[in-house]
Amino acid sequence: MDTARAQLVAARRAVISSGLSGRIETLPFREGDRFKKGDVLVAYDCALNRARWERAALAESAARKKQAVAEQLETLKSISRSDVEQARAAVAVARAESNAERVLVDRCTLTAPFAGRVGETYARAAESVAEGDKLISIYDDSAFELETIVPSRWLAWLTPGSPLRVTVDETGRTYEAVVSHIAGAVDPVSQSVKIIGRLDDKPDAIKDLLPGMSGSVRVDPPATAP
């Protein structure tokens, strides 16, 4: 039996950053709170953005009406071909401007890509943020992985699918896992390699786990191992 130290990480995790500059209107979840897929994690004060989108949509509608009139006059041979093409180009420009404003409005709310829990929040409601600022970190608390560094000589028998058992210090419990990934390079100095294991236990069994918890991984080499 061989052992190594390991750390738990969420199988799915993300740091949500701001997609625009503006003032946060609501940030309803705090550290440790659970949320469902599709819940609003962050909402901005976007009254100005929505007004710009409405103006752009009206401009697009007006351009389409002018195009329709121009095409009708074309059938009556009462307008030049260049004027018709100009009306169509105006519609394309108005549509592009409307789409651009709609993209900004879509960024006014950030929704959860999966169900899980909040790790950290980096901003608060009523604060102004810049584009690219970190807002909130989230993780899926229904699936955990473990990361550990093991001697590279174990690669003679350790492969994806090999069974693992991890005893977590914080809970005192032991969980079943399997190797899911092995790093693509060996550290030439320490002669070690990173492996990632996936916990096989059902969500109810791992509900007390949190990212960052650590413990000992036990690996039982096969009887034929060198």
**Coil, helix or strand for 216?**
strand
> What residue ranges do the domains of the chain occupy?
2-11+143-219, 47-106
Q: How far apart are CA 179 and CA 29, in angstroms?
A: 34
Bridge partners, 149 (sequence order): 194
Over residues 76-96, the pLDDT tens digits come to 888 999 999 999 999 999 999
Give the pLDDT confidence score for residue 1 in this predicted structure.
58
Name the token pair of 27. Answer: 């940030």
Over residues 132-177, the pLDDT tens digits come to 999 999 999 988 999 999 999 999 989 999 999 999 999 999 999 9
Domain 2-11+143-219 adopts which CATH fold? Elongation Factor Tu (Ef-tu); domain 3 (2.40.30)
Reported as a pLDDT band with limits 50, 70 and 90, residue 121 is very high
Give the pLDDT confidence score for residue 194 in this predicted structure.
96
Give the pLDDT confidence score for residue 210 in this predicted structure.
93
Are 6 and 166 contacting, i.e. CB atoms less than 8 angstroms apart?
yes
**Coil, helix or strand for 44?**
strand
Looking at residues 119-135, what average pLDDT do you find?
95
What is the reported pTM? 0.78
More confident residue, 206 or 46: 46
Are 19 and 131 contacting, i.e. CB atoms less than 8 angstroms apart?
yes
Which secondary-structure segment (H or E) carries 34? strand 34-35
**2-11+143-219 matches 47-106 in fold:** no
Reported as a pLDDT band with limits 50, 70 and 90, residue 224 is low
Looking at residues 108-137, what average pLDDT do you find?
96
- Could you tell me how many residues make up the chain? 226
Give the pLDDT confidence score for residue 219 in this predicted structure.
86
Reported as a pLDDT band with limits 50, 70 and 90, residue 189 is very high
Domain 47-106 adopts which CATH fold? Helix Hairpins (1.10.287)
Q: Which amino acid is at 104?
A: L
